[in-house]
């Protein structure tokens, strides 16, 4: 997920201190006495309103016995609750509201959102309140939804790109892989119980671990009053769940590992390389440098593209970084020319070894990358219903200011910032490299003879 980023300034505030975050124009923030944060985004481009609630929950909170259950909880959100005691009644109410709705589960955020006519704001907030606070977790709903969630997993497994991602990440994160794997574990999904859903709810679904965003053609004063009247009596847990249930630190890689996975669904080989990168708690400047550098490498004029795609060694070659609060991965994904597989893998190694050279990119390419990121950021602001999604992602994985300052901080990135990022996280650092390839192709190409450290 490529969402725009900025510098994260980590500031420890005194207990009970309330400081106004820096937000873009048209964004308004309040914190309710129960600890729930509320942001209203005024944008009257269309006469619609979006309500989104985000919870700091996801794969990163899951040990092996709960792997995939944040995702299961997301599905149960749209089932029966005290106000709508069957899924049929829940869905009928979405139709009455004319709502477009969905939810997502990732490593560090679970979010739910409804978009509807602006005149339904109060009714929509009441509907959201019922779903987030008073789920029923009926056994019959759980049985049905286990099949749905596991079905998503099985569909993912039919994609060779997912298979190589999964195998690489098991090696990248080791014993803590479940905390980077939102899709989960088949057995845990298929044995999920209402009791486990209740445990997740009691730990993380509390107002002082939640953010409500109201965006669209709304008035912030009216919206704040409605949110407080509806959510204000939701009782705080009294302690920050992130403190009470701390996330373990990911162990650094100690060695480089290569592997080859044979699969009949791999019609053409895919190659992945992964490094453990920076995070917003400890090195926010490098997270932005990673964005800028990855964008440079995506330019058609870059040495990376010239060496791999323009020469015919690969049909696709990307370098990306996922900004995270807890160690973001740096990844290379390449679709090699099967007839030039060895030459392609050799060239990838060569290019990575050249990344720190002063002449690997030009000043013009550096500026082009910054402008590309600026334009992408502007485009992301064009659809009002997308603004809450963007904000809640950064609230969970960084901070409000991280997002607010993104363009400014992109512009401030220097060659030295990029060199420091590459030196600290990539050059001569352990990594995981994986290839997925069909059995017959592997037999003919003998990839294990050259795809190795």
**pLDDT tens-digit profile of 413-445?**
999 999 999 999 999 999 999 999 999 999 999
Task: Please provide the distance, in angstroms rounded to a whole number, between the alpha carbons at the two ends of the chain.
Answer: 29
Structure tokens at 364: 């013009």
Candidates 443, 453, 441, 106; CA nearest to 270 is 441
Q: Name which CATH class applies to 257-449.
A: alpha beta
Could you tell me what percent of the chain has a pLDDT over 70? Answer: 96
- Identify the pLDDT of residue 16: 41
Mean model confidence pLDDT for the chain = 95
Express each pLDDT in 272-299 by its tens digit: 999 999 999 999 999 999 999 999 999 9
- Identify the pLDDT of residue 317: 98
In this structure, are strands 37-42 and 210-216 parallel, antiparallel, or unpaired?
Answer: parallel
Phi first, then psi: give them for residue 276, nearest 5 degrees: -85, 120
Compute the distance between CA of residue 330 and CA of residue 398 in angstroms, rounded to an integer: 17
Position 242 confidence tier, pLDDT thresholds 50, 70, 90? very high
CATH entry 2.40.50.140 includes domain 27-242:
no
Q: Where in the chain is the domain with CATH 3.30.830.10?
A: 27-242, 257-449
Express each pLDDT in 201-213 by its tens digit: 999 999 999 999 9
Strand partners, 29: 39
264: burial class by Cβ within 10 Å (0-12, 13-18, 19+)?
exposed
Position 10 confidence tier, pLDDT thresholds 50, 70, 90? very low
Compute the distance between CA of residue 8 and CA of residue 329 in angstroms, rounded to an integer: 18
Position 253 confidence tier, pLDDT thresholds 50, 70, 90? very high
User: Is residue 14 over pLDDT 50?
Assistant: no
**Using an 8 Å Cβ cutoff, are 70 and 57 in contact?**
yes
- Identify the pLDDT of residue 18: 61
C-alpha separations of 229 from 20, 41, 135, 141, 222 in Å:
21, 19, 20, 31, 11
Express each pLDDT in 75-88 by its tens digit: 999 999 999 999 99
- Identify the pLDDT of residue 362: 98
403: burial class by Cβ within 10 Å (0-12, 13-18, 19+)?
buried
Express each pLDDT in 317-366 by its tens digit: 999 999 999 999 999 999 999 999 999 999 999 999 999 999 999 999 99
User: Is residue 1 over pLDDT 80?
Assistant: no
Position 19 confidence tier, pLDDT thresholds 50, 70, 90? confident
- Identify the pLDDT of residue 398: 97
Tokens 């907030």: give the residue: 125
Tokens 């739910």: give the residue: 112
User: Is residue 4 over pLDDT 80?
Assistant: no
User: Is residue 6 over pLDDT 90?
Assistant: no
- Identify the pLDDT of residue 114: 97
In this structure, are strands 37-42 and 257-262 parallel, antiparallel, or unpaired?
Answer: unpaired
Express each pLDDT in 40-99 by its tens digit: 999 999 999 999 999 999 999 999 999 999 999 999 999 999 999 999 999 999 999 999
Tokens 């195998």: give the residue: 167
The DSSP secondary structure of 146-189, one letter per residue, reads HHHHHHHHHHHHTSHHHHHHHHHHHHHHGGGGGGG-TT--HHHH
Compute the distance between CA of residue 391 and CA of residue 396 in angstroms, rounded to an integer: 9
User: Is residue 17 over pLDDT 70?
Assistant: no
Candidates 38, 13, 45; CA nearest to 23 is 38
- Identify the pLDDT of residue 428: 97
Compute the distance between CA of residue 70 and CA of residue 112 in angstroms, rounded to an integer: 12
Position 235 confidence tier, pLDDT thresholds 50, 70, 90? very high
If you ran DSSP here, which 8-state letter would residue 46 be given? S
- Identify the pLDDT of residue 13: 35
Question: What is the rounded average pLDDT of the residues 128-149?
Answer: 97
Position 7 confidence tier, pLDDT thresholds 50, 70, 90? very low
């Amino acid at each position: 997920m490529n969402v725009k980023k900025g510098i994260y300034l980590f500031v420890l505030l005194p207990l009970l201190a309330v400081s106004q975050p820096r937000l873009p124009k048209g964004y308004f923030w309040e914190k309710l006495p129960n600890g729930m944060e509320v942001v209203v985004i005024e944008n009257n481009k269309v006469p619609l309103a979006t309500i989104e609630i985000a919870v700091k929950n996801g794969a990163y909170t899951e040990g092996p016995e709960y792997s995939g259950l944040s995702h299961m909880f997301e599905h149960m959100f749209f089932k029966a609750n005290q106000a709508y005691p069957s899924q049929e009644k829940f869905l009928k109410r979405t139709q009455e509201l004319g709502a477009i709705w969905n939810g997502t589960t990732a490593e560090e955020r679970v979010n739910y959102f409804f978009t509807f006519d602006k005149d339904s704001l109060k009714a929509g907030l009441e509907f959201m309140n019922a779903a987030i606070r008073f789920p029923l977790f009926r056994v019959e709903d759980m049985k049905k939804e286990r099949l749905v969630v596991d079905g998503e997993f099985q569909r993912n497994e039919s994609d060779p790109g997912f298979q190589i991602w999964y195998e690489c990440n098991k090696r990248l994160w080791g014993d803590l892989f479940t905390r980077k794997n939102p899709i989960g574990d088949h057995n845990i999904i298929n044995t999920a119980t209402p009791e486990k859903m209740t445990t997740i709810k009691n730990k993380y679904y509390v107002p002082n671990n939640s953010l409500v965003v109201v965006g669209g053609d709304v008035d912030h004063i009216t919206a704040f009053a409605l949110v407080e009247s509806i959510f204000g009596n939701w009782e705080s847990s009294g302690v920050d769940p992130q403190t009470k249930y701390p996330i373990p630190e990911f162990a650094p890689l100690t060695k480089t590992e290569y592997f080859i996975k044979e699969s009949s669904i791999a019609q053409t080989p895919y190659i992945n390389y992964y490094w453990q990168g920076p995070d917003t708690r400890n090195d926010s400047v490098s997270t932005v440098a990673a964005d800028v550098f990855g964008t440079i490498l995506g330019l058609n004029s870059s040495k990376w593209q010239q060496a791999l795609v323009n020469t015919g060694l690969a049909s696709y070659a990307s370098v990306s970084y996922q900004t995270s609060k807890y160690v973001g991965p740096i990844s290379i994904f390449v679709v090699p020319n099967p007839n030039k597989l060895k030459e392609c893998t050799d060239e990838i190694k060569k290019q990575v070894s050249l990344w720190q050279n002063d002449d690997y990119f030009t000043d013009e390419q550096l500026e082009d990358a910054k402008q590309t990121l600026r334009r992408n950021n502007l485009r992301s602001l064009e659809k009002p219903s997308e603004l809450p999604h963007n904000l809640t992602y950064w609230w969970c994985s960084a901070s409000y200011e991280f997002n607010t300052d993104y363009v400014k901080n992109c512009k401030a990135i220097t060659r030295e910032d990029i060199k420091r990022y590459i030196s600290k996280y990539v050059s001569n650092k352990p990594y995981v490299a994986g290839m997925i390839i069909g059995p017959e192709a592997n037999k003919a190409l003998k990839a294990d003879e050259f795809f190795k450290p």
